[in-house]
Amino acid sequence: MLPFEEADIKAAASVALQHAAAGADPELDKVYEHIMALDPTGRRFARVLRDTIDQLLNGEVTGRYDWKTLFKTEKTHAGTLVEINFQREFKFADGKAMDYQIAAVDVDCKYSQQFGGWMIPPEAVGHLCLLAWADDYKSLWSVGLVRIRNEWLNTGNNRDLKLTIKAGHRDKIKWIWHDEDLPENVLLHMNAADRDAVFTANSGQRRLNELFRRAQKRRIGRNVVRTVAQQKDYMKRVRGNGGSRSALRPEGILIMGDYASHREIAGRLGLPLPEEGEFVSARVTPSGPQHGDSPRVSLDGKEWVLAQPDDLVVPAPALPSHTRGD
């Protein structure tokens, strides 16, 4: 960087800091509005955080599903991956002094799996930081913006001089989303006995069948399927023609994917709607007087409801077919 460029950047950061001290920060507001326009629901940020954690776990190769099983170096690498994956998803330009330029403003990006654990480098003082946090155990995530000020940072002797924001000054963070639902890591949150039953099955197909038996009425993401199957053709193992969908149909279990018709069926039954790359399984039975006003759906010329534990097992109806072989 040329000396005059570095001086210009420092001067701009100083002016912005003065605005923030006066209670106004037009740059922060501009970045906030730009991000909200890019992702008004927060779904894209949530998906990137979910996918980044899954990328680190690398379940297809390792069979891991728990953050605690990561090596220290992998956990350290998480912040870099989040930064890269945010930039890929939102096409943020490279920053001049910080990680990104968002709405023509330099913004640094910091991620921590521990809330409040963002490590702020000295060169970020005076600049905006995009702070991200996700906790797989709580299934929560947050993303916010803050203008870094020296007096808001904890003192310390970290080897690379990085500091954290004082707990008493976290109220200075302008949250874009706070304590939002992170797509669930189903394997992590399953009953331990059910999870053991899944992983003790002696083939990828049988493990998947057990997963859809035992994790009903929950959104099961593609990475969960990948981790359980541990096979390159893992998505084929879910579908009909020999996959879990056909294997579990005699047990009355439907496996709905992200197709519009499947989502409609799930919605009519009062189930969570599978998002892109997700599945929801549930046992169904023909509706009868004992089911009262339970939600129902018409398939194969009959009305079906979610089965109760004491309902007889009846083969499930066929789901609508699709041109992609599903």
b (16+ CB within 10 A) / e for 299-325: beeeebbbbeeebeebebbebeeeeee
User: At residue 267, what is the residue type?
Assistant: G
Q: Are 145 and 125 in contact (CB under 8 A)?
A: no
- In this prediction, residue 94 has a pLDDT band, given cuts at 50, 70 and 90, of very high
Residues 28 and 42: their CA atoms lie apart, in Å, by: 18
SS3 label, residue 74? helix
- For 254, phi then psi, to 5°, come to -95, 145
Name the H helices within the chain.
Answer: 3-21, 26-38, 43-57, 59-62, 72-90, 186-189, 192-200, 204-214, 222-229, 244-248, 260-268
- In this prediction, residue 231 has a pLDDT band, given cuts at 50, 70 and 90, of confident
Closest C-alpha among 22, 26, 25, 17 to residue 149: 17
Domains annotated for the chain, with CATH where assigned, are 3-181 (3.40.600.10), 186-306 (1.10.10.10)
Average pLDDT over residues 183-195: 96
- In this prediction, residue 19 has a pLDDT band, given cuts at 50, 70 and 90, of very low
Contacts for 95 with CB less than 8 Å, ≥ 6 apart: 101, 106, 107, 108
pTM passes above 0.95? no
SS3 label, residue 82? helix
**Mean pLDDT, all residues of the chain:** 90
User: At residue 48, what is the residue type?
Assistant: V
> What are the C-alpha distances in Å from 112 to residues 75, 104, 117, 190?
9, 25, 5, 25
User: Quick check: 162 pLDDT over 80?
Assistant: no
Reported as a single tens digit per residue, the pLDDT across 52-73 is: 999 999 999 999 999 999 999 9
Reported as a single tens digit per residue, the pLDDT across 39-50 is: 999 999 999 999
- For 133, phi then psi, to 5°, come to -145, 140
Q: Is 103 left (phi over 0), alpha (psi -120 to 50) or beta?
A: left
Quickly tell me which residue has 């894209």 as its tokens: 44
Name the H helices within 231-297.
Answer: 244-248, 260-268
Closest C-alpha among 224, 203, 223, 200 to residue 212: 224
Average pLDDT over residues 249-273: 96
Reported as a single tens digit per residue, the pLDDT across 284-296 is: 999 999 999 999 9
- In this prediction, residue 107 has a pLDDT band, given cuts at 50, 70 and 90, of very high
